[in-house]
């Protein structure tokens, strides 16, 4: 990771704009798998492979947040509350989010056993999951929040707003089957916004701001690579000789 | 530029032409005071009465229809579920609670926040 040691402390508006810029050009909604999804080019078995990978990235999300929580100092009460609330919302406040993912997976023709089996994720997904754990455990809580909430989670509404309509209109799923996407369009708007606020409030030195920017860039690249790898592993081989 | 007017808190927020923005996210970012709990369309705490510009709001999806039922026809929307693409105005009861008892049980109780503060903040911090 590069660090610009000559950087000055940005005000909140400048810092927010820089965080948003760090994602630009790397948005997962523009990766090949997302484009094929939105264009109606995928088959149900491709969505099944997506679910078998996605479970291993988002399934432990509350675990990642738990590690960040443990690294957050007592005085950062609003940051701790945000993490606790986010964990609670992932697991308990509504339908458990992974249960909705499982419902979609089964509608695509795969099984709970296959989805939960880590052998069914590809190497890039394994890398993304490992990166999430490593960042959550090892980084300053502000940097880790920037990575996982700003870099990854805040992208979700823009991805799923593009992907939900074709699931119903082109691929023929019911609203019930795709509730996982509907839920995340809105819940991650709020998680993303509160995440931004934590990062804006607690990245209070030029060095911390720079680390946040670097890791948001890295996170966006990780999610883009993960999404592209789904296409490379499962869709492209189907096109050979087609 | 289009504007969302949050009448109850006398807050108005502009957003760029051509964008559509999540109403609750805008309210949180700009401290407009819309009450909320789950942010996923389950509890209904963030319901707002649309007094102007309903035609500039995204059509209700399943979770919002399920939660609001007949209230939708009376002009209520859930701020967390709505995207605005043009001028609109909303109001709400600042003291409003979740829409049903089940939702209350599933939401994070306010007392948790108080307990966390008691545990983690010193007496000096809370005075």
Name residue, tokens 């929307």. B77
Number of structural domains (chain A) is 1
Domain presence at residue A11:
no
pLDDT in tens, B49-68: 999 999 999 999 888 998 99
Rounded CA gap, B38 and B106, in Å? 9
Name residue, tokens 């000559």. A6
Beta carbons within 10 angstroms of residue A176's beta carbon: 12
- pTM of the shown model: 0.83
Suggest the residue from A186, A197, A199 to mutate for an interface test with chain B (most B CBs closer than 10 A). Answer: A186
Q: Is residue A141 pLDDT above 70, yes or no?
A: yes
Nearest chain A residue (CA) to B124: A75
Q: State residue A191's pLDDT score.
A: 87
Cβ atoms of B24 and B34 closer than 8 Å: yes
Model ipTM value: 0.79
Q: State residue B48's pLDDT score.
A: 97
A86 min Cα distance to partner chain B (Å): 9
B39 close contact with A: CB closer than 8 A: yes
Q: What is the CATH number of the domain that holds B118?
A: 3.10.20.30
Domain presence at residue A13:
no
Q: State residue B50's pLDDT score.
A: 97
* Selection from A211, A242, A223 nearest residue A10 by Cα: A211
CA A195 to chain centre: 13
Number of structural domains (chain B) is 1
Confidence tier at A229 by pLDDT (50, 70, 90): very high
Rounded CA gap, A51 and A235, in Å? 14
Cβ atoms of A226 and A125 closer than 8 Å: yes
Q: State residue B40's pLDDT score.
A: 81
Q: Is residue B106 pLDDT above 60, yes or no?
A: no
Domain presence at residue A3:
no
Q: Which domain holds residue B23?
A: 3-126
pLDDT in tens, B28-46: 999 999 998 877 888 899 9
Q: Is residue B115 pLDDT above 80, yes or no?
A: no
Q: State residue B104's pLDDT score.
A: 42
Q: Which domain holds residue A209?
A: 28-33+43-236
Interface touch A93/B42, C-beta < 8 Å: yes
Element (H, E) at B76: strand B76-78
B120 close contact with A: CB closer than 8 A: yes
* Selection from A150, A166, A120, A170 nearest residue A222 by Cα: A150
Q: What are phi and psi of B92, to 5 degrees?
A: -160, 170
Domain presence at residue A209:
yes
Domain presence at residue A14:
no
Q: Is residue A146 pLDDT above 60, yes or no?
A: yes
pLDDT in tens, A25-67: 888 888 999 999 999 999 999 999 999 999 999 999 999 999 9
Q: How many beta-carbon pairs under 8 angstroms link A with B?
A: 78
Interface touch A77/B120, C-beta < 8 Å: yes
Handedness of CA A38, A44, A45, A48 (dihedral sign): positive
Domain presence at residue A20:
no
pLDDT in tens, A103-126: 999 999 999 999 999 999 999 999
Helix, strand, coil: what percent of chain B each, to 5?
Answer: 35, 20, 45
Q: State residue A135's pLDDT score.
A: 98
Residues making up chain B, counted from first to last: 127
- Report the number of secondary-structure helices (H) and strands (E) in chain B: 5, 7
Q: What are phi and psi of B87, to 5 degrees?
A: -60, 140
Domain presence at residue A156:
yes
Q: What is the CATH number of the domain that holds A144?
A: 1.20.910.10
Interface touch B61/A182, C-beta < 8 Å: yes
Q: State residue A161's pLDDT score.
A: 87
């Amino acid at each position: 990771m590069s660090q610009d040691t000559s950087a000055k402390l940005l005000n909140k508006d400048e810092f927010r704009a820089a965080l948003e810029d760090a994602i630009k050009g790397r948005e997962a909604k523009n990766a090949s798998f997302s484009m094929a999804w939105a264009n109606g080019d995928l088959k149900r078995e491709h969505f099944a492979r997506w679910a078998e990978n996605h479970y291993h990235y988002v399934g432990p999300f509350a675990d990642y947040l738990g590690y960040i929580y443990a690294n957050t100092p007592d005085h950062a009460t609003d940051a701790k509350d945000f993490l606790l609330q986010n964990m609670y919302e992932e697991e308990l406040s509504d339908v458990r989010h992974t249960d909705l993912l499982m419902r979609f997976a089964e509608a695509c023709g795969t099984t709970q056993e296959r989805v939960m089996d880590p052998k069914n994720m590809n190497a890039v997904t394994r890398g993304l999951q490992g990166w999430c754990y490593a960042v959550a455990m090892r980084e300053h809580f502000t940097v880790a929040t920037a990575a996982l909430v700003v870099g990854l989670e805040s992208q979700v509404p823009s991805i799923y707003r593009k992907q939900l309509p074709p699931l119903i209109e082109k691929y023929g799923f019911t609203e019930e089957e795709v509730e996982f996407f509907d839920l995340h369009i809105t819940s991650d708007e709020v998680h993303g916004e509160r995440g931004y606020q934590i990062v804006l409030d607690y990245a209070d030195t030029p060095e911390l701001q720079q680390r946040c920017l670097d890791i948001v860039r890295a996170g966006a690249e990780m999610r883009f690579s993960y999404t592209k790898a789904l296409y490379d592993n499962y869709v492209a081989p189907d096109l050979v000789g087609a | 530029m289009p504007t969302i007017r949050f009448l109850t808190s006398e807050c108005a927020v502009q957003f760029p032409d051509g964008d559509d923005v999540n109403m609750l996210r805008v309210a949180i970012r700009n401290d407009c005071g819309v009450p909320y709990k789950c942010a996923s369309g389950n509890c209904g705490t963030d319901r707002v009465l649309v007094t102007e510009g309903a035609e500039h709001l995204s059509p209700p999806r399943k979770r919002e229809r399920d939660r609001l039922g007949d209230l939708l026809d009376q002009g209520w929307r859930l701020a967390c579920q709505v995207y605005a693409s043009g001028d609109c105005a909303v109001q709400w009861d600042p003291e409003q609670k979740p829409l049903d008892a089940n939702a209350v049980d599933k939401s994070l109780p306010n007392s948790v926040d108080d307990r966390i503060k008691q545990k983690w903040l010193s007496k000096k911090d809370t005075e």
